[in-house]
Every structure is written in C-alpha cells, then in structure tokens.
Amino acid sequence: MAAQILDGKHAAELTEAELSKRVSSLKARSEGRTPVLATILVGDDPASATYVRMKGNACRRVGMESLAIELPASTSTNGLLKEIEQLNINPDVHGILLQHPVPSPINERACFDMIALEKDVDGVTCHGFGRMAMGEPAYGCATPQGIMRLLAHYGIGIEGLHAVVVGRSPILGKPMAMMMLEANATVTICHSRTRNLESLIRQADIIVGAVGRPEFIRADWVRDGAVVVDAGYHPGGVGDIELGPLTERARAITPVPGGVGPMTINTLIQQTVQSGEKALV
C-alpha cells in the first residue's frame, strides 16, 4: 500500500486562506491596522536571506505587514540586544523573528531570550519553551508546532503511539519531543551519538528525523506502517531520512521538499496573527 503523503504545501495554502479572512476582519475592527512581523537578519548568508524573504512574502499573502531589519555581520551581541529591545517596546510590532543562525561571535541564546514572550511567535525563548513543556500557554517553536498541525490536518492521532525523535536541538528536537509527550505519545529522544539507534527506530510508530544530516536515517531501519516525518532539508532536495523506499512501506510520509518546510513558515504567520489579534482588539 502506498504511503499517505502529508502535503505541507497544500495544508499551508488552506490555512493562508483562513488567515487572510482573519486579517481582513482584524483590519476592519482596528482602524486599518494589521499584525506586523519584524524579521531580523544579521550578516549576508544567502540561505538566511532567502528564508527571510519567504517569510515576508507569506506575510503579504495573508494581508499583514512585515518589517525587515538587516544588520551587518559585524553587529555585536549588545547591538543586537538593543535592536530587539526596541522591537519589544514598539506597539506596532506583534511578532519578532531573529533568523537563525546569527554570526558566531554573537550570543544567539541571549538574543533569543531578549524577545518578549508575547512577541515570541517563533517559539525560541527559554521562557516560552518552559511554559510549553509545562502545558502552559505559549507560542510553540514554529517547526515542531507546524509538524503537530500537519499531523492533525491529516487526522493522524499520536496518543498512545511510540514516537522516536532523532535530534535534540533547542528549536526542533527538544520542543518536538515535549509537544508529542503533551499529546500523550510515549517519546524516545535519540541523536547522532545514540547507541543502537537502528534498533530504537525499528520500535517507532512515528519517527521524526531532526538530526541535521542528509539521509542519516536509513529506510531499512523503519518498520512497515510507521508514520515518517522528515524535518531535514539538504542540497539535492533530500532530508534526514532515506524516503524513497518508504513510499510503499510507511503509513504516511512528509515529502522533502513540500512537507514540513511550508508548515514552519505557515505556523510563524499564524502565531503572528494570533498575537496581533490579542494586541489590536
């Protein structure tokens, strides 16, 4: 049986239509104001610039505004902290995105944590992560939250399932595991140094590849009927999981590209709209 394709691009397009209506309604009720997402790009990394541009385009598609802030690679930690502080106190800004990664001399964690909780629409602060992990209201980290939304869109319940998350980054692997735990999955967190990784993956009802290495997880490690979520993207259009052979064995798979990626951006926009609705009405 062919695997169900979890089409993130299609799910995101459907959500954008609904978000456009919400933005229009908000604009009508708030004297023409719309939610505003501020994006901060430090340095001249081409991939980061592309991602920021894609997020700005997504804002415009739903009728909201973006504020693009571009800083040189020579920016200091203190200089970046001051920029974020100004955005925190700006009442016209409802969401703040600091594009990852920043140049290595900058203390990225300190800068993430400077973002005000109510504007942390990318879900990157320690405060937001802690609240999310404790089941308290917070904006979820965009990629794992997007994955949870994608699974829900296609009616894939995870309660009672054994989920194996391969990856432990603070903005993907760790929050992914906490979100699945909160949704009543039994969660195993693995990483590139896990012993007997293959045997652990074979036990998974649902596997999330978030290790950051191209096709690190081999298809023959994945049991028949598993749900396969690939959160990686690498040159050549491959993810963290060898997906090809799984199209006839898995219950469902996320394609690369077109699976998790569109839902990440869509979640960022959705959470900015939510923040704007709280602030403007």
* Catalytic site includes residue 55: yes
* Catalytic site includes residue 122: yes
Could you tell me if 152 and 164 are in contact, meaning their C-beta atoms sit under 8 angstroms apart? no
Residues 6+ apart with CB under 8 A from 68: 39, 41, 52, 56
**DSSP assignment string, 24-84:** HHHHHHTTT---EEEEEEES--HHHHHHHHHHHHHHHHTT-EEEEEEE-TT--HHHHHHHH
Residue tagged active-site, from 7, 55, 119, 270: 55
Q: How far is the C-alpha of 199 from the C-alpha of 195, rounded, in Å?
A: 9
Residue tagged active-site, from 122, 145, 174, 240: 122
Residues 6+ apart with CB under 8 A from 244: 219
Nearest-5° Cα angle at 176, 170 to 179: 120
Tell me the torsion sign for CA atoms 106, 96, 182, 184.
negative
What stretch of H or E contains 4? strand 4-5
Place of tokens 């009672």: 160
* Catalytic site includes residue 99: yes
Neighbours of 237 (CB within 10 A): 10
Active-site amino acid positions:
55, 99, 122
